[in-house]
Structure 1
């Protein structure tokens, strides 16, 4: 294993000069810096992570909080997590994955221990209990003194963990957030069905517990669906669904009992998509000739099923990438918080067509 002293000898400089080049704590001439960097590359030197952290007061680690709940679609969560990890590496950071449902306790543990320089939080609720610990937590650049003292009872900005949310709470004040615009997503699904002549639309939603927690993406999609349906004069019925064949069968039966004239379905539950298509076939209802189905789901779910689904894709990789880039900007001293909402895109495929009562 190559040492710092060997790099210094190879470059013809002192060990302290190599250290200054690595830490950036002192100005080094361009020629000397290039010579040291060339020696580092040629010798394959990798600074010790622990020593580097002590020298810079940084761990070069990002904590990613991904509560793995049974009522969530884990493949999407993991796709976002992979995007976070791969993007973080391009910026010189490793990722510490926290999968427990610890809420504020996990934020306190990461902040107090110095395990990570910043954190990215997923599965965000409208009134998330973690938020008070994050507000006002812009990054303090190394050596800088925070301006102003914290108000009584408020978190000390110097002690708050720099963070980015993948998700949107009800109040985004003093927070940096990245998410798909789920309200616009819901509106887009309704608009598509309305243009095809559908007037009775049912929504097969997430598991009941997701709404009980007031999870942001589910609530915002529902707001968009309901608001646009009212504007367009559609009758909309929403029913949560645990997913899987049995639960989807019960949900579908309930919908058709309550609204037998339903000709359009919007599905925001990946585990209900294929069971719904199978159940409709069993009932003798063809897709899209008799009923249309629009899904909010990952691209692979939409294209690999028994029917290629008209859908709004979950941009998991883009969400993860944006979250890391936002956090890195905060760690480099950006003070302003920002909300980044990714515009939804609806792709029309084989599962949507004119409402049956509008066919010639």
Structure 2
């Protein structure tokens, strides 16, 4: 039934509600219970309902808007997210597009809502999980999209990302070149791993795969007290530790304070490398080497791919940006 033949009555029947309720959910003109709204949005996604697709075709024009789903949730560093948003907005304006920001907690229902309302031409998704529930919704909805991240099943999708697996390997190689035997990745908060977020797991896989039996990965919280406790426990558990890779932007400064409190001389008998923005690594004393997360470049690339798809131009299924290590 998916496609242009689907009507609002079909959606209502699938959701078990009145057609007017479907209209209210899609328009937002009346308050509908979350449970009912979820049923309606699930029906919209299942049936591939596009109420204005015909009108848009007749008008031979686009909405001029792309949606970007930002992960404003636990474990995500807001300044970095704003770099992604800035890159997307800047590049979108070069293509006469505006950007509608959504939050990742809207999930498949949020995708169905914007697709059904026909207010956007395409979608950019961030914080992609390995088994991301939004992927099936994207395939059902048929709206042009680009993922900044790589799910396990990427068939038929367009994905753009930093090569995070290679980034993990780069960090191990840097530490090995400085004579570090035991090395540890202080990674994202546990909640990020629990969601099976693609980028965090790929960094961990690259780090552990390159580091051999002497490498470990620890989840790391973000607040100062918890970071201090984690570093203290880490040093107690691994007294021969001489190298750390930190993939957790808010924790970097706290990690450095904890190492100083423990008498570690970073850059001399202990080495630290960061995966994150340059400014995070530059604010520490001493300044740290880092593998840049090129947020704006990634966002710009995603927008360019999406606009080309809207124009009917083929784009690569997978675009991986090679990690670059900056020494300081």
Which bracket does the TM-score occupy, shorter chain normalised? 0.7 to 0.9
Instruction: Give unmatched runs, 5+ long, in structure 1.
Output: 1-50, 136-154, 350-360
Of 83, 87, 93, 1:89 maps to 93
Residues of 2 paired with 1:54 and 1:115: CA distance?
16
Residues of 2 paired with 1:278 and 1:115: CA distance?
48
CA change 1:88–1:54 in 2 (3 A) is farther
Given the alignment of the two structures, is residue 239 of structure 1 paired with residue 218 of structure 2, yes or no? yes
Range 64-73 or range 54-63, more displaced: 54-63
How far off is 1:250 after superposition?
1.3
CA RMSD of aligned residues (A): 1.7
**TM-score normalised to structure 1 length:** 0.73
**Max Rg structure:** 1
What SS does the aligned partner of 1:102 have?
Answer: helix
CA change 1:214–1:100 in 2 (3 A) is closer
CA change 1:246–1:54 in 2 (3 A) is farther
**Per-residue displacement from partner, 1:13-41 (whole Å, max 9, x unpaired)?**
xxxxxxxxxxxxxxxxxxxxxxxxxxxxx
Contact 2:64 2:96 in 1 (8 A): yes
Contact 2:267 2:286 in 1 (8 A): no
**2:262 matched residue in structure 1:** 283
Of 129, 134, 151, 1:169 maps to 151
Of 267, 283, 297, 1:318 maps to 297
**1:187 matched residue in structure 2:** 169
Deviating 4+ runs (over 4 angstroms) = 51-54
What SS does the aligned partner of 2:81 have?
Answer: helix
Of 165, 174, 198, 2:180 maps to 198
What SS does the aligned partner of 2:239 have?
Answer: coil
Residues of 1 paired with 2:226 and 2:267: CA distance?
23
**2:135 matched residue in structure 1:** 131
Instruction: Give unmatched runs, 5+ long, in structure 2.
Output: 1-54
**2:160 matched residue in structure 1:** 178
What are the within-5 Å matches in structure 2 for residues 199-238 of structure 1?
199-230=181-212, 235-238=214-217
What SS does the aligned partner of 1:302 have?
Answer: helix
Tell me the number of residue pairs that the alignment of Structure 1 and Structure 2 aligns: 274
**1:62 matched residue in structure 2:** 66
What are the within-5 Å matches in structure 2 for residues 12-161 of structure 1?
55-99=59-103, 101-135=105-139, 155=140, 159-161=141-143
Contact 2:67 2:123 in 1 (8 A): yes
Residues of 1 paired with 2:145 and 2:276: CA distance?
26
Residues of 2 paired with 1:336 and 1:326: CA distance?
6
CA change 1:54–1:61 in 2 (3 A) is farther
Residues of 2 paired with 1:196 and 1:162: CA distance?
46
Of 284, 290, 294, 1:305 maps to 284
Of 243, 246, 263, 1:267 maps to 246
Residues of 2 paired with 1:207 and 1:242: CA distance?
5
**Per-residue displacement from partner, 1:272-312 (whole Å, max 9, x unpaired)?**
11011111111221111121000101011111222211110
**TM-score normalised to structure 2 length:** 0.80
Residues of 1 paired with 2:148 and 2:285: CA distance?
31
Of 217, 230, 245, 1:251 maps to 230
How far off is 1:236 after superposition?
1.1
Residues of 2 paired with 1:115 and 1:52: CA distance?
10
